Amino acid sequence: MTGVRMSASELESDAIQTRRTPAPRRPLNDGIHGFRLLGMVSILAVITAIGCAPSDREINAFIHAWEASVSAPDYRVQPPDGIIVSSPTAPELDGVSQVVRQDGKITLRLIGEVKVAGMTPLDISRKLESLLQMYYVEPRVSVRVSGKESKFFYVFGQVARPGAFRYTGRDTLLRVLATARPNLAAWKSRIKIIHPSHEDDKRRVLTVNVDRIMKEGRLDQNILLQEGDIIYVPPTPLAWVALRVREILWPVSPIAEAVEQPADFASSVDLAVDSDNYAIGG
């Protein structure tokens, strides 16, 4: 048997070269991109969490729940709100229920059409008393709102029940969120309350830490909402990244489902055939 023999010096040089040859390194680009993304999300969470508490000036621009008076006398009626009229001195009006029409008027026996849109219940009572003076001496009338159907506030973002909610005048932030139910992606320490307005000096935005309200009982930030307010529940930084990825992949999803459906159908048919064969063979 023949072969090539190497001298001792050649073997030694090959061994030294093998020890000196560096092992191939794995590319780090894939890991670096992942760490960069995670680092950016972490930095964003830390930066936004620091100093997120609103200032006293910002909070004072909104109404606190304990400072507000009972809202019914201050409520201004608009179509299609409902009202109930009571009058012990005028039986024609006593117990009458009316819905404000689109023209802002109601129709009552004895006095006819009366425009009430934009008026408070107390204003309507005084107006009806004035109109009844030609029929009764010192008439007394009281009006209350039976259906508040004209005013709304809005909830958007990471909640189970987004949309428009009827404004009652006693709607606090906690009560509204308990109804709208923020989901797992909600950033409850950065919830925004927006007072919209076409005038820049009247537009207000307040960021509220609802987690702090619930854990520490900080009711100074349990804001009483006003008509037309917007509550926006943003996603957490990680949820925001997940939503962006889902947004990018969304156009591809119908194609993937269309490709999977024939395969699923074929698998179900094969399974049914195999079951029938097993039943026949058994």
Residue range 126-147: mean pLDDT, rounded: 94
Rounded-to-integer distance, Cα 84 and Cα 98, Å: 6
Mean pLDDT of the chain: 78
Checking if the pLDDT of 9 tops 70, the result is: no
For residue 50, what pLDDT is reported? 44
pLDDT above 70: percentage of residues in the chain: 63
Residue range 39-66: mean pLDDT, rounded: 52
Quick one: pLDDT band at residue 38, thresholds 50, 70, 90? Answer: low
Non-local (6+) Cβ contacts of 35 within 8 A are none
Quick one: pLDDT band at residue 20, thresholds 50, 70, 90? Answer: low
Q: Which CATH class is domain 56-68+151-239?
A: alpha beta
Residue range 21-48: mean pLDDT, rounded: 51
Asked whether the beta carbons of 213 and 219 are under 8 A apart, the reply is yes
Asked whether the beta carbons of 80 and 94 are under 8 A apart, the reply is no
List residues bridging with 193 in a β-sheet. Answer: 206, 231
Domain 76-147 in CATH 3.90.1150.10: no
**Positive or negative torsion for Cα 211, 217, 219, 225:** positive
Task: Select the more confidently predicted residue: 80 or 169.
Answer: 80
Residue range 147-167: mean pLDDT, rounded: 94
For residue 158, what pLDDT is reported? 96
Quick one: pLDDT band at residue 1, thresholds 50, 70, 90? Answer: very low
The closest alpha carbon to 167, from 155, 183, 181, belongs to 155
Checking if the pLDDT of 240 tops 50, the result is: yes
Q: Domain coordinates of the chain in residue numbers?
A: 56-68+151-239, 76-147
Non-local (6+) Cβ contacts of 94 within 8 A are 85, 86, 87, 88
Q: 230 φ, ψ to 5°?
A: -120, 125
pLDDT above 90: percentage of residues in the chain: 48
Quick one: pLDDT band at residue 202, thresholds 50, 70, 90? Answer: confident
Quick one: pLDDT band at residue 217, thresholds 50, 70, 90? Answer: confident
Checking if the pLDDT of 220 tops 70, the result is: yes
Quick one: pLDDT band at residue 156, thresholds 50, 70, 90? Answer: very high
For residue 49, what pLDDT is reported? 47
**Positive or negative torsion for Cα 241, 245, 247, 253:** negative
DSSP conformation letters of the chain: -------HHHHHHHHHHHHHSPPPPPP-HHHHHHHHHHHHHHHHHHHHHTT-SPPHHHHHTSEETTTPPPSGGGPPP-TT-EEEEE-SS-TTTTTEEEE--TTSEEEETTTEEEE-TT--HHHHHHHHHHHHTTTSSS---EEEEEE--S-EEEEEESBSS-EEEE--S--BHHHHHHHH-B-TTB-TTSEEEEE--SSGGG-EEEEE-HHHHHHH--GGG-EEP-TT-EEEEPBPHHHHHHHHHHHHHGGGHHHHHHHHHHHHHHHHHHHHHHHHHHHHH-
Quick one: pLDDT band at residue 230, thresholds 50, 70, 90? Answer: very high
